Chain A
Amino acid sequence: MAELEIKNLNMSYDKHLEILKSLNLHVKNGELISILGPSGCGKTTTLRIIAGLLRQTDGQVLIDGKDVSKLPVHKRNFGMVFQSYALFPHLNVFDNVAFGLRQRKEKVSIIQKRVNDILIATGLKKLEKRFPDALSGGQQQRVSLARALVVNPKLLLLDEPLSNLDAKLRVSMREEIRRLQQLMHTTTVFVTHDQEECFAISDRVAVMNQGVIEQFDTPQKIYRAPKTVFVARFIGYENFLSVTKKISSTSFYVKNVKLDINSTVDGVTSLSIRPNQIVLGSTAKTNIVSGEIQSSVFLGNAYRYTVSTCIGNLKVDYLGSKRLSNGQNVQLELPAAALLGLKK
């Protein structure tokens, strides 16, 4: 239970390869935040620096306002769950979970009680005598989580903990993580590349790209109002239009088509809209562009058309049950309410 603050974190290898560029992050006490990004964006590096497994080139990691940058890993009092579970292969479930408490030289009776409690809370009581190689992936990850939580860590660090599990287990496991995190009120940093996963359980999400946090917001805000092209693309926006000329903060030219938006950010360079928000066959007078259907794909709930227009090809989802034929001319409306202004 603690507050985490990262100030101007830099990480580079051999002075050339910059992994992190002045990263700042503030996680409140008891909050669960996710760092979301593609592989190679620096999210795992960030987590390993927080844990103390890597030393940053520059910058600070503060826990409750105290700089822990120089504190070795084993004195930080954190818990960590790895993608590969990383259980001690020669210890049984009970001893794996008890490891942290024994290192802290707790009394035997206290160890017994706390390990017991957490084994019951995680549904592992019956398996306590088993060795890791006799457990399924999901069970191993539960043990790993129990091992992390039993020490009452100041900070719980989760490094893609669900990636090795199958789809069904992933959903139940993430709910388990959230339940236990809420129960124990543990400040948690969760690293993942799966947006659904992190939206489901996070209080806030930091979307990371090439060593920079592009946006740090609630899942709702990230989903509905991404601020940069990268964030929008990462969470499923497909149509990106480069602004040719800015008329006002809410009105732009893309080639010679004038498009209005409702809300805006500073320094808009692109406009974007989801395929299902474009209105096909609209009779509106503004935010209109005409085009010709190039191809179509059946998606189940809709047809997805690729429409070539004077501002480029647009992907449009249309719910109509009849498939429109290729070559047909259509009017497309890009409603101002759905059209987003994005920074680079």
Chain B
Amino acid sequence: MADVRIDGVGKKYAGRAVLSDLSLTLNDGECFTLLGPSGCGKTVLMRLIAGFETPDCGVISIGGEPVADAASGQMLPPDKRGLGMVFQDYAVWPHMSVFDNVAYPLKLAGTDAVALRERTLRAVGLVGLSGLEARLPSQLSGGQQQRVALARALVSEPRLLLLDEPLNNLDANLREEMRFEIKALQQKLGITILYVTHDQEIALGISDRLAVMDENGVLRQIGAPEEVYERPVDDFVFRFLGIANFLPVRRDGDSLYIGGSMAAWVGPPPDKPGATLTAGFRPSDVLLARDEGGSDGLPGIIRRASFLGAQVDYLIDIAGTLVRAALPSHECLARNLLFVEGDRCRVELASVQWFEGNIVAGDRA
């Protein structure tokens, strides 16, 4: 069992609290992602789990066994926690060959020569580096070095694998490829993975569950990727998971209006009470039509049109609020929806998240 329990953990640096009273549970065999902006404390939490840092308060348990307990001062050293870890810069030792890098944990564990060789070659093969065992890291590409780090983390068959933004230094194609490979490996080996990243695309693609952490180290929402994406608990989570549009909506009796204007809201009704609300939606939720004098949808004016190849990006003025829309290019061509600046259009929304109050999203355009 490699479930991880974090109970009321806190950590301060130079008097500043990076984590406060944080609690979290990772289930055995799941791939769990900690998603948050840079500097929010997610790597600190990972280092606390790994044992490189000591918590100021709280308890961390792995597989039911406490590995760090601030109250009793109990701290299990990193190598006794049964972990593997892949670092952001891979930390592949440059003076050792691929084989020696991967075999290092087994050598220290006193594994006999035959088993060491067999397990090392198996780990190297698992990450697709067979035949490159004798090479030095300087003779490998970034992606291959990343695989060496992964093999080294896996060779001692850890119960928990910690991945600290290991795909950041790879180019977009390789990043995507490795993302799938890590997921496939996790499913094949059945180990628990804690993945730390600020990249929402990786988080959504790789995780069984994910937690969104804000810049103050507070966990805003924990859930399955589709749940967090489709039903964000607040605007922070909504913004963090992709480009966000916000339209202020005013309730006046039974009628709904956009912002301070007299333009009526046309679209999914709010599921929240209150006189002031905000409708949140993604650019892909926007359905566009030409304004031919009808009353379907919200009236808008195209302020900017950008053809981006696979899709067309529009900036639309709806009653004084700017929102972005992304339409597939082929749909625009087929339905005569290639607008130019100044064109009038009608906007319908396929899906809307409602938030209480008036959320100003000044940077969304």
Q: Do A and B come from one complex?
A: no
